[in-house]
Amino acid sequence: MRTLVLGIGNPILGDDGIGFHIAQELAKEIKDKNIDVKDTSADGLNLLELIVGYDKLIVIDAIMTEDEKVGEIYRLKPEGAGKPARSTVSPHHLNLATTIEIGKKLFAEQMPEEIIVFGIGTQQVATVTEEMTAKVKEAIPRVISLVLAELGYGKLAKASRVS
Amino acid sequence: MTRKIVIEPITRVEGHGKVTIHLDDKGNVDQARFHITQVRGFEKFCEGRLFWEMPVITARICGICPVSHHLASAKAGDVILGVKLTPAAERLRRLIHMAQIVQSHALHFFHLASPDLLFGMDADPAKRNIMGLIAEKPEIAIKGVKLRAFGQKIIETLGDKRVHPNAAIPGGMNKALSPDKRDEILSQVDDIIADCQFAIDLVKEYYAQHSEEAASFASFGTGYLGLVDNEGNVEYYDGKLRLKDSRGITLEDNVAPENYLSIIEERVEDWSYLKFPYYKKLGYPVGMYRVGPLGRLNVADGCDTPLANKEFGNFKKLGNNGVVQGSLYYHYARLIEALNAAEKIKLLVQDEIICSQEIWVNSSTINEEGIGVIEAPRGTLFHHYWVDTSGKIRKVNLIVATGNNNLAMNRSAYEVAKEFIKDGKVTEGILNRVEVAIRCYDPCLSCSTHALGHMPLEITIYDPDGNIRQVLRS
């Protein structure tokens, strides 16, 4: 079974970089020929091209919630990650749910069967900076543990990350 | 206990493309504004960085056309170093740029614009999108995927990363093109050229069936700006600036890109984060000009490849004195360019020199200023850097393609609103049409590189006293 761990985000847009940074950390820890760890700032069809061909997909991305629980981690199914986008002025930016829906229609056989999204509540995603806000930064080790647990690296992760 | 989580989109347009329309005393359109919330502070963020880093940093401005920023930035870096590229490096840059044009134009036409044209502007927005296209005409959607994948593969080959490339550096390129990769591109390109022709036939069929709409929809006179080569052909990577007016009269020609400030000035409006560039000699806002496919084809005398040039001739016949004003013709122009770019890719990879290992020239010179200008898919893109003697950035000025079209996008919204709001009566279909009009420009509204949500259009109509009369949402 081939798994892709994909961190999405733009590292120069503050908290939006959370997925990108976590993927970079995970890449150091995960050494398994059946698991690829990638970071990307892509969306829509670019994203689709990255995920086609895997059996399982774990996405790590920044989200904004109405509750504004910054730093909180949400485990979502892709259909929970935003309603499918309809008409938009500049529909380059398809959301994850739509991207996956398109993938299932165009490349049904090649889409991952299992998709899990770890969303991290963020605060500052439209300011050009490489710094993330404190609460979002604090979430990094917890997200790493959760992803490792998801991949069966659980015990090891818990032992080393109790702090 | 279950809890409902509503996820708002992470975009710089605050989740909405927002248009406001102000009515006069008689209930007719006084003013229409298309609001853009740009990320602020990017230029500031670059200060103190080494110019060497800029091609990689600026590629992060945008997830849609990172290659364009990457190349404009590297070109500015070439000027700072005072070097001339090796023939292979220049060709590799052109190759990655043409790959970007093919994939970007294909994405826009097949996946974003074709649902408007194939299903009609009055079709339900729930259908008039890529999902509707996949459901009803999957063969067209698949062609779009194929063209995009071709362009993206070239970008990945030369730039390591699929979206944000690391291909160009000041003085040249990072990586040579291997002969086997070159052969792979060559083996696919004829098929890609054929697909571009297919798309052109498709759009021409639309124009044939909707000739009146095509000619009149958001049609208005503006100036046009673009780069041309020494023969006056459409040029994307290098060349000189040419500016024509709405009657096809050349107002500026042979302007070296480094002298862009002699013809362009920018205005700031308090209701938009995106600046409004205009042609200096005509002033603001009369000096409105359009860039991108329509701008480039309107200023040029031809295309430098045979199939695209033939189509260019047909395009020119649509306008008076070769200047085509209808915003819907952006699509035709865009596809002619995709064909031009595909043909150019073929010529580039047929030349053995593109596989040369001589791809970088170093220099110990650090000039204090560097300007890099290219034609991004959406139009002319300016990167202007000032550096200190160690090569650290002191100041940055960027004029992006969507910025160049800012005045015209506002005008398009106005033209459509005027048609659909008369004497206080708002006709149905206005929302769809404002959306279609703005979409012609393929605006890149959001430079945050991804969004996790949906981004509908919202139109707010105000009465003369500034009270909200109606809000329309897609």
Say if residues A57 and B425 touch (Cβ distance below 8 Å): no
| Minimal C-alpha gap between A26 and chain B (Å) | 19
What does DSSP say about strands A56-65 and A35-40: parallel, antiparallel, or unpaired? Answer: unpaired
**Confidence class for position B420, pLDDT limits 50, 70, 90:** very high
Q: What is the dihedral of CA B293, B295, B298, B299, to 10 degrees?
A: -120
Substitution target from B139, B412, B448 for chain A, most A beta carbons within 10 A: B448
| Cβ-Cβ contacts under 8 Å, A115 against chain B | none
Is B354's pLDDT higher than 90?
yes
What does DSSP say about strands B240-244 and B250-255: parallel, antiparallel, or unpaired? Answer: antiparallel
Tokens of residue B145, six digits = 């995927």
Of B37, B112, B450, nearest to A91 by CB-CB distance is B112
Residue B285: asked if its preceding bond is cis (omega within 30°), the reply is: yes
| Cβ-Cβ contacts under 8 Å, B443 against chain A | 89-90
- pLDDT for position A82: 55
Is B432's pLDDT higher than 50?
yes
Q: Do B64 and A92 touch (CB under 8 A)?
A: yes
The count of C-alpha atoms lying within 13 angstroms of the C-alpha of A94, restricted to the half-sphere facing its C-beta, is 23
Q: How far apart are the first and last CA of chain B?
A: 33
Encode burial over B110-128: b for 16+ CB neighbours within 10 A, e otherwise.
bbbbbbbbbbebebebebb
**How large is the ipTM?**
0.76
What does the mean pLDDT of chain B come to? 89
Name the strand (E) or helix (H) holding A100. helix A96-106
- pLDDT for position B112: 82
Is B37's pLDDT higher than 90?
no
- pLDDT for position A46: 76
| Cβ-Cβ contacts under 8 Å, B149 against chain A | 49
- pLDDT for position B450: 32
Residue from B230, B163, B158, B189 nearest B340 by CA: B189
Tokens of residue B447, six digits = 């430079």
Is A78's pLDDT higher than 90?
no
Q: For a pLDDT cut of 90, what percent of chain A falls above it?
A: 40
**Confidence class for position B126, pLDDT limits 50, 70, 90:** confident
CB pairs under 8 A between A and B: 181
pLDDT tens digits, B132-152: 888 899 899 889 989 998 998
- pLDDT for position A159: 47
- Give pTM, 2 decimals: 0.89
Of B5, B450, B455, nearest to A89 by CB-CB distance is B455
Q: What is the mean pLDDT of residues B286-303?
A: 98
Is B57's pLDDT higher than 80?
yes
Q: What is the mean pLDDT of residues B57-68?
A: 82
What's chain B look like in SS3?
A: CCCCCCEECCCCCCCCEEEEEEECCCCCEEEEEEECCCCECHHHHHCCCEHHHHHHHHHCCCCCCHHHHHHHHHHHHHHHHCCCCCHHHHHHHHHHHHHHHHHHHHHHHHHHHHHHHHHCCCCCCCCCCHHHHHHHCHHHHHHHHHHHHHHHHHHHHHHCCCCCCCCEECCEECCCCCHHHHHHHHHHHHHHHHHHHHHHHHHHHHHHHCHHHHHHCCECCCEEEEEECCCCEECCCCCEEEEECCCCCEEEEEECHHHHHHCEEEECCCCCCCCEEEECCCCCCCCCEECCHHHHHHHCCECCCHHHHHHHHHHHCCCECCECCECCHHHHHHHHHHHHHHHHHHHHHHCHHHHCCCCECCCCCCCCEEEEEEEECCEEEEEEEEECCCCEEEEEEEECHHHHCHHHHHHHHHHHHHHHEECCEECCCHHHHHHHHHHCCCCCCCCCCCCCCCCCEEEEEECCCCCEEEEEEC
Is A163's pLDDT higher than 50?
no
Q: Do B131 and A61 touch (CB under 8 A)?
A: no
- pLDDT for position B390: 97
- From the number of C-beta atoms within 10 Å of its C-beta (0-12, 13-18, 19+), residue B249 rates as exposed
Q: Which residue of A has its CA nearest to B144?
A: A45
**Confidence class for position A155, pLDDT limits 50, 70, 90:** low
- pLDDT for position B121: 85
Tokens of residue B270, six digits = 């308090």
pLDDT tens digits, A99-108: 888 888 888 8
- Tell me the three state secondary structure of residue A39: strand
- pLDDT for position B439: 83
Q: Do B60 and A10 touch (CB under 8 A)?
A: yes
Residue from B420, B447, B454, B453 nearest B436 by CA: B420
Q: Which residue of B has its CA nearest to A45?
A: B145
Q: Do B448 and A10 touch (CB under 8 A)?
A: yes
Q: How far apart are CA A89 and CA B456, in angstroms?
A: 7
Q: How far apart are CA A57 and CA A69, in angstroms?
A: 25
Is B441's pLDDT higher than 60?
yes
Q: Do A10 and B450 touch (CB under 8 A)?
A: yes
pLDDT tens digits, B167-203: 999 999 999 999 999 999 999 999 999 999 999 999 9
Q: For a pLDDT cut of 70, what percent of chain B falls above it?
A: 91
Of B6, B63, B474, nearest to A87 by CB-CB distance is B474
Q: How far apart are CA B341 and CA B155, in angstroms?
A: 14
Q: What is the mean pLDDT of residues A127-146?
A: 92
Q: Do B451 and A93 touch (CB under 8 A)?
A: yes
How wide is the angle at C-alpha B354 spanned by C-alphas B311 and B103, nearest 5°? 45
Identity of residue B52: W
Q: What is the mean pLDDT of residues B66-87?
A: 96
Substitution target from B100, B274, B398, B449 for chain A, most A beta carbons within 10 A: B449
Is B312's pLDDT higher than 70?
yes
- Longest CA–CA span in chain B (Å) reads 71
* Residue B347 φ/ψ, nearest 5 degrees: -60, -40
How wide is the angle at C-alpha B329 spanned by C-alphas B109 and B194, nearest 5°? 45
Name the strand (E) or helix (H) holding A47. helix A44-51
Q: Do B453 and A95 touch (CB under 8 A)?
A: yes
**Confidence class for position A157, pLDDT limits 50, 70, 90:** very low
| Cβ-Cβ contacts under 8 Å, A47 against chain B | 450
For residue B333, the tally of other CB atoms under 10 A from its CB is 25
- pLDDT for position B2: 36
Residue from B407, B387, B371, B410 nearest B262 by CA: B371
Substitution target from A41, A87, A100, A110 for chain B, most B beta carbons within 10 A: A87
* DSSP classification of residue A12: T
Substitution target from B3, B7, B145, B405 for chain A, most A beta carbons within 10 A: B7
pLDDT tens digits, A1-33: 999 999 988 888 888 889 999 999 999 999 999
